[in-house]
Amino acid sequence: MTKTLPLATATAHPLEPFIQKLLGAEALLPDSETNMLEVVGILKSYGVVLDAYSKNLIYIADHQFLVLFPFFKYFNGKVTLPQLLRHWWHDRINFEYAEYCMKTMLWHGGGKLDEYLDSDDFLQRCRAAIAAKIKSNPAMRGLHGLFPDFLPEQVRQLAYYSALGQFWRVMSDLFIDLSDAYDAGQVKTIPEVVAFIKAGLVAAAANPITYAVELNGSRYDLLPKSAGLTFLMDVAVPYVEAVFFRGTPFLGTVSYNAQANQISVDQGRFDYGALYADPLPIGGAGIPPTLLMQDMRHYLPDYLTAFYQSQGRGLDDVRVKICQSFQKSMFCVTSASLQGLLPHPADTANLAEQSANHDFLASWMDRLATSRLDVVQL
């Protein structure tokens, strides 16, 4: 039952029941056996995929530094004929989706990471690393001389590769641990799933986000510990903002013609993220998240595969079903994130603190009003 707290507010929010759910340590997703099976099962698969994504992003950041034509960046340094054949046959993890998420974060920006990458301190560190990388490469030196902002922008992108890889490393382990706890009967309800994820986010909140490269035997700290960048506020929150909420318009679904006015000129009003996505287009080619659904398809636990097989078209539309389950799971992760970010304890008796908590959640509910929040209630 939802725990209703006294509010120091004059007018109830249109989505007040959801605000009360979050204040009462519940979730935006209803608690049911089916939802539990879908959420934990899909997060188990997602955790396996994130493990691969994380390792590759960090490999690219560390070992493909300013390699302008990184033909083998998806091989993690191990290029063999069988791997090449699987790659060409597309029998592989689609690392392109990991890069899509990274570039979405880079484009939307936000947070201290974005601010630091525009700072003089970063630019000085960046120039030193660039000089070390290109000192014996006349072509690169010429390119840098002609376009002095090009290579620094590539380094900023590499910093996002590393930061997102570090974030996903934590989330991969967290989702696998959640699956193990579910299998052991330790997590049985959706609110317990949210509490488990929230605890993991809080435990990792202060983890430092750093990035350094080794060039010619010397270490260059591009995101030093002294920058004070941390897991939760500087990577997790911008990730949620960029990938869960804003996203990017999918080519072929809306017109990029400025005269058509189908895309807002204000990035802050974008609503193309995971919480808004229509699962039907997601099941088709050309839509970036289709790559993620294809990757997760290979690692579904048996009980989730059996569930999909018993529903509707069976596995013929499995990517659409995976997207629906994934969307449900992301509402759980969003619930955990919002509860973890509350400015004050959820059960505070202080009226001013209650009001601050309510206003915080109300601002997020305003944005979720046009999401698929109503659909996942069914």
Question: pLDDT tens-digit profile of 292-314?
Answer: 999 999 999 999 999 999 988 88
Q: Has residue 272 been placed in a domain?
A: yes
> What are the backbone angles phi and psi of residue 4, rounded to the nearest 5°?
-90, 125
Q: Has residue 222 been placed in a domain?
A: yes
What is the identity of the amino acid at 21?
K
Instruction: Give the span between the Cα atoms of 12 and 10, in whole angstroms.
Output: 7
Q: Are 56 and 63 within 8 A, CB to CB?
A: no
Least confident of 47-56, 81-90, 293-302, 320-329: 81-90
Token pair listed for 4: 């209703």
Nearest to 243 by CA among 169, 174, 333: 333
Q: Are 260 and 249 within 8 A, CB to CB?
A: no
Q: Has residue 71 been placed in a domain?
A: no
Q: Has residue 327 been placed in a domain?
A: yes
Q: Indicate if the alpha-carbon torsion angle 316, 319, 324, 326 is positive or negative.
A: positive
Instruction: Give the span between the Cα atoms of 219 and 157, in whole angstroms.
Output: 19
> Which tens digits make up the pLDDT trace of 354-378?
999 999 999 999 999 999 999 999 8
Token pair listed for 82: 């069988």
Q: Report the pLDDT value the prediction gives residue 332, as an integer from 0 to 100.
A: 97
Token pair listed for 252: 């072929």
Q: Are 329 and 131 within 8 A, CB to CB?
A: no
Q: What is the pTM of this model?
A: 0.93
Q: Has residue 42 been placed in a domain?
A: yes
Q: Report the pLDDT value the prediction gives residue 2, as an integer from 0 to 100.
A: 46
Count of domains observed in the chain: 1
Q: Has residue 303 been placed in a domain?
A: yes
Instruction: Give the span between the Cα atoms of 206 and 195, in whole angstroms.
Output: 18
CB neighbour list of residue 248: distance below 8 Å, 6 or more residues apart: 104, 107, 270, 272
Q: Has residue 2 been placed in a domain?
A: no
The whole domain housing 210 covers 16-64+92-377
DSSP 139-175: HHHHHHHH-TTHHHHHHHHHHHHHHHHHHHHHHHHHH
Q: Has residue 197 been placed in a domain?
A: yes
